[in-house]
Every structure is written in C-alpha cells, then in structure tokens.
Amino acid sequence: MIALGEEVGSEMILRSFDHFLQYGDVSVKRAISLSMALLNLSNPKVQVADLLTKLSYESNKEVATNAIMSIGLISCGTNNSRMATNLRQIAGYYADDQSILQVVRLAQGMLHMGKVNYNTN
C-alpha cells in the first residue's frame, strides 16, 4: 500500500513480486497477480501486462483466473488495444472451459468500460 502513489516504490515492489513468483508456491502466485492489479489499476504498464498474460496460461486454474481478472483491472476503462488482443487470445485458448471464459468476458467488459458511442444516427 505504501508503494501505491510513487513510481520508485512501485518498481521495487514489482521486482519483489518477480522473486515471489519464481520461488513461491501456488498460493503465492494466486495472490501476486491480484496485488499487482491493485498496484496498477487502470494503468496497463507493459511489464505488468506481459507478466499477467504469462500467468493467465498457467496450468493451475485459480492462478490463471486471478491473472485474467487482474488483466481486466489493470486495463479497466483504457480501451488498450494490446490488452484487448491478449484477452481475445486468452478467450480462444480457454474456449472449452466456461468458468474461465466467463472471467475473460468480465475482463473484456472492464477493458471497454466507459467506451461511449457518440454516433446518434
């Protein structure tokens, strides 16, 4: 929570999260993705987005679900085309698993949240 407002603290905690992911067990991986999302709400940094995308293909379904939800949180309301492409690829990968696919659709909704169509024809 201390690192939320400052850039240097955020970079330091991201490095710590990388170490936790390398040496931690599955329960740590579940928590890291959501904490990274809270640290970067509506701020899809490339490093964070790449790490969460990698975690979304994890064999553990809970880790993958948390990572997909975190992608939605970091891209919330930004209409980021790179994140939209990543979420479409993830949806194709999990086309057979309806529970994860529902989380992907929720993340896609968060990504496009606030998108307004000004065409009144």
CATH number of the CATH domain containing 14 = 1.25.10
Residue 55 maps to a domain: yes
Q: Which pTM value belongs to this model?
A: 0.87
Q: How confident is the model at residue 66 (pLDDT cuts 50, 70, 90)?
A: very high
Q: How confident is the model at residue 1 (pLDDT cuts 50, 70, 90)?
A: low
Question: What is the maximum span of the chain, computed from C-alpha positions, in angstroms?
Answer: 56
Residue 120 maps to a domain: no
Residue 6 maps to a domain: yes
Task: Give residue-wise pLDDT tens across range 23-33.
Answer: 988 889 889 99
CA distance 87 to 50: 12
pLDDT at 4 over 90: no
Mapped to the 3 state alphabet, what secondary structure does the chain carry?
Answer: CHHHCCHHHHHHHHHHHHHHHHHCCHHHHHHHHHHHHHHCCCCCCHHHHHHHHHHCCCCCHHHHHHHHHHHHHHCCCCCCHHHHHHHHHHHHHCCCCHHHHHHHHHHHHHHCCCCCCCCCC
Residue 41 maps to a domain: yes
CA distance 21 to 51: 10
Tokens of 111: 């990504």
Range of the domain at 103: 2-111
Measuring CA to CA, which residue among 63, 76, 82 is closest to residue 115?
A: 76
CA distance 75 to 107: 8
